Amino acid sequence: MRVLITGAAGMIGRKLTERIARDGGLGGRQVAELHLHDIVPPHAPDIPGATVSAMTGDLADENAADWLIAPRPDVIFHLAGVVSGEAEADFEKGYRVNLDGTRALFEAIRQAGEGYCPRVVFTSSIAVFGAPFPEIIPDEFHPTPLTSYGTQKLVGEALLADYSRRGFFDGVGIRLPTICVRPGKPNKAASSFFSGIIREPLAGLEAVLPVPRSVLHTHASPRSAVGFLVHAASLDGDSIGPRRNLTMPGVAVTVGEQIEALERVAGNNVVRLIREEPDETVWSIVRNWPTRFSAERARALGFVAEEKFDQIIRAHIEDEMA
């Protein structure tokens, strides 16, 4: 099996690469070639019996996608993109990376020749939904994004469904909830504080909370996000049906409940390191985000996530701090 990961240097890309290297395969099949691509050099692990290559470049550049598809990978994880806050702050960059890069990749697959139909797993986002929301958002809720990032992801979803319908590839779009707790330094995502108020205090550092504690949001751990990707790669296409984009399950909690979970796991001295400092720019984005989802289709297809936020915190401690 040949596998391509775009955005392989990102947090989820790195963890997916590690998972494939640890398993030596994907969905019970051995990986013979693993191709990793990003704008910065991704880490290429040693996998016994497999060829691993790391490539750098801009996916939206002319012929870049053609070069990546030339080995005709059997499974393509398309994770490359700029995050929500960056896409909102830099309109042109957001559309170039999140839309033009996606379209270039899909076109390269289509042009690769008759008989080539890989599985494409595309990471979308719950940002495709916009307010007003019902208390629980069903799978049938109409996506109406209120950010440029959400719009770019929604167009990618539509392209994925149409290219799959035409038989150019076998696509699965997974709408990720906010991934928490993200390891490393904060990124430019508007949702970065969700991880920051857990990650920094656990490391003995002060964290800033820019939104009210009443904010309700859905989360899944990086461990679950990788599980979503691996499961999506081996799903039977017929079982998914024509609606190719799935909202992933997660844990819906308020920010206040996040902090309560942190106190249960790590104690009050850790929680005291959180400082509340309202930020209108962040709040203007976050208040238009969806809250909780039924995710019935994804659950029926076998996607699983944590059930309590305490589990998400403990996963971070086990995976990043052990």
Element (H, E) at 17: helix 11-23
CA–CA separation, 78 and 317 (whole Å) = 28
Structure token digits, residue 137: 């958002």
Please, how many CA atoms are within 13 Å of residue 250, restricted to the half-sphere of its CB?
32
Q: Torsions phi, psi of 145, nearest 5?
A: -65, 150
Q: Are strands 216-220 and 251-254 parallel, antiparallel or unpaired?
A: antiparallel
Q: What do you get for the CA distance between the two ends of the chain, in Å? A: 33
- ∠ CA 42-188-308, rounded to 5°: 90
Neighbours of 53 (CB within 10 A): 13
Q: Which amino acid is present at 29?
A: R
CA–CA separation, 270 and 154 (whole Å) = 38
Is 95 annotated in the active site?
Answer: no
User: Which is the catalytic residue, given 95, 116, 149, 163?
Assistant: 149
Contact partners, residue 299, CB within 8 Å, separation at least 6: 249
Catalytic residue positions?
149
